[in-house]
Amino acid sequence: MTEPQDDRDLQALWQLQPRDGSTIALDLIRQMAEDLEYRVARRNRREYIAAAIAAAVFGWQMFALPSLLLRIGAGLCIVGGIAVVYMLHRSGTAPTLPSDLALTSALEFHRMQLERQRDLHRNALWWYLLPATPGVLVLEIGHILAQPERRSQLIVLSVVMFLLGVGVYVLNRRKAARIQRQIDRLEENL
Amino acid sequence: MGLPPDTGSRQDGLYAEAAATFGPALQRLARAYEPDADRRLDLLQEIHVALWRSFASFDGACSLRTWVYRVAHNVAVSQVIRRKSKAHTLVGLDELEAMPAAVDHEQMLDDRRALDRMMALVQQLDPLDRQLTLLYLEGLDAASIGEIIGISAGNVATKVHRVKKVLAERFRRGTP
């Protein structure tokens, strides 16, 4: 029946807490490192396959759609999709950690992680929304021209999609601002 | 990992030394970052893998302890950032100092309960203050903490003083 009351008590209480079990064998560590690389490679493969399927669907539409405008729209969607995948990989969204973790202080590493996230949200317009916009826009106009009897429905759909895009943009900017406040707070400690 | 054999054995040796020396501290650190048992094990494994990988480039420019704690805290912080959207709100020392110590001291009867409360307190801190508190609880001095976190020893001393104050208020003997 003890109760901590000073530095040493608290530190001793902390350091003497029971352990969770045995140590991790070196072979298991090696295996886990390999598994991690395999998981990252598998995730990348999944993204490429998804992009390839989307490109195949729009590629097929480039030949199957009735009007030139719709075909151009499908082509632009392919280009936009490729641009988004490229930008995602360039900005390093992979959940793997660098091997030189110990060369960066904890505060600096934390700041770098937050800055990466902030930039991803802050630039969502450029890497996410704008590349997708031309294709979608041209497809919508093409559909409206090709199906004049459904014009009002298609216009409503276009407005809804536009508002969704604006919503995504606003949410991303807000998120970026929130992360920036965290960065500012971290920097107060430097 | 595609390393030459001699580099690999040095890497293995450094890892084995680090795991033997700091294994218990890494377990405590994982506990302080992750309340859920399964996720805690994942985090601990991730820390160990990152540590083993990192020793491929260990050049002795800093102590083994600084190296280990930097890797461990950086891995843990990246997990906090990844999962933050699902987590409860974290607070800094400022907020914690301002919050009333909602503690029934009469019930603080044993070490187990005291430890649980201390863990809960640490787990609600934001990453920087959590790192600082953990390193203080591990018994590191201000200079070592500053080297790991990347802030001046003076700044560390000021913050540690506040950590002690908060802990003292919540773990004071016999005060309701």
Tell me the two tokens of residue B40: 């805690």
From B149, B153, B151, B130, select the one nearest A109 (Cα to Cα): B149
What's the Cα-to-Cα distance from A53 to each of A13, A78, A82, A128, B120, rounded to whole Å?
A: 57, 10, 12, 18, 47
B175 within some domain: no
B138 within some domain: yes
Residue A63: count of CB within 10 angstroms of its CB: 8
Pair B123, B164 in one domain:
yes
Pair B98, B164 in one domain:
yes
Instruction: Report pLDDT digits (tens) over A127-157.
Output: 888 888 899 889 888 988 888 888 888 889 8
From B33, B123, B70, B53, select the one nearest A96 (Cα to Cα): B53
B135 within some domain: yes
CA distance A124 to A133: 12
Pair B97, B81 in one domain:
no
pLDDT above 50: residue A1: no
Of the residues B57, B86, B115, the one at which a domain ends: B86
| Banded pLDDT at B114 (limits 50, 70, 90) | confident
B147 within some domain: yes
**Which residues, including other chains, have CB under 8 Å from residue B149's CB and lie 6 or more apart?**
A105, A106, A107, B73, B128, B131, B132, B135, B156
Pair B80, B102 in one domain:
no
B176 within some domain: no
Tell me the two tokens of residue B31: 């506990």
Q: What is the CA radius of gyration of chain A?
A: 25
Pair B77, B97 in one domain:
no
**Is B56–A11 a contact, with Cβ atoms under 8 angstroms apart?**
no
Of the residues B86, B103, B127, the one at which a domain ends: B86
Which is higher by pLDDT, A165 or B84? Answer: A165
Looking at residue A57, what DSSP letter applies?
H
Structurally, how many domains does chain B consist of?
A: 2
B23 within some domain: yes
Of the residues B64, B86, B108, the one at which a domain ends: B86
| Banded pLDDT at B84 (limits 50, 70, 90) | low
Pair B54, B97 in one domain:
no
CA distance A100 to B95: 33
**Is A20–B31 a contact, with Cβ atoms under 8 angstroms apart?**
yes
Which residues in chain B have their CB less than 8 angstroms from residue A7's CB? 164
Q: Among residues 132-161 of chain A, which lie with CB inside 8 Å of chain B?
A: none
What's the Cα-to-Cα distance from A148 to each of A67, A157, B140, rounded to whole Å?
A: 14, 14, 74
Q: Indicate the helix (H) or strand (E) that contains B159.
A: helix B153-170
Average pLDDT for B71-88: 75
Pair B147, B100 in one domain:
yes
Pair B128, B97 in one domain:
yes
B127 within some domain: yes
Pair B71, B112 in one domain:
no
The answer to whether the CB of A107 falls within 8 A of the CB of A186 is: yes
Pair B98, B118 in one domain:
yes
Q: What pLDDT shows up at residue B25? A: 93
A189 touches chain B (CB under 8 A): yes
Name the residue with tokens 């719709």.
A70
Name the residue with tokens 């203080």.
B136
B117 within some domain: yes
Asked if ipTM goes beyond 0.95, one says: no
Q: Model pTM greater than 0.80? A: no
Pair B102, B79 in one domain:
no
A1 touches chain B (CB under 8 A): yes
The answer to whether the CB of B76 falls within 8 A of the CB of B29 is: yes
The answer to whether the CB of A185 falls within 8 A of the CB of B92 is: yes
**Cα nearest neighbour of B41 on chain A:** A20
Q: What pLDDT shows up at residue A18? A: 78
CA distance A89 to A114: 17
CA distance B131 to B116: 18
Question: Distance (Å) from the C-alpha of residue B98 to the closest C-alpha of chain A?
Answer: 17
Mean pLDDT value across chain A: 83
Which residues in chain B have their CB less than 8 angstroms from residue A181's CB? none
Q: Report residue A37 CA to chain centroid gap.
A: 19
Q: Which of A56-60, B45-49, B96-100, B143-147 has the lowest mean pLDDT?
A: B96-100
Pair B79, B99 in one domain:
no
Which residue in A36, A106, A185 is closest to B77 by CB distance?
A106
- Give the range of the structural domain holding residue B24, as residue numbers without chain letter: 5-86
CATH number of the domain where residue B70 is located: 1.10.1740.10
Give helix B64-83 / helix B142-149 axis angle, nearest 10°: 50
CATH number of the domain where residue B149 is located: 1.10.10
CA distance A162 to A156: 10
Query: What is the maximum alpha-carbon separation in chain B?
Result: 62
pLDDT above 80: residue A181: yes
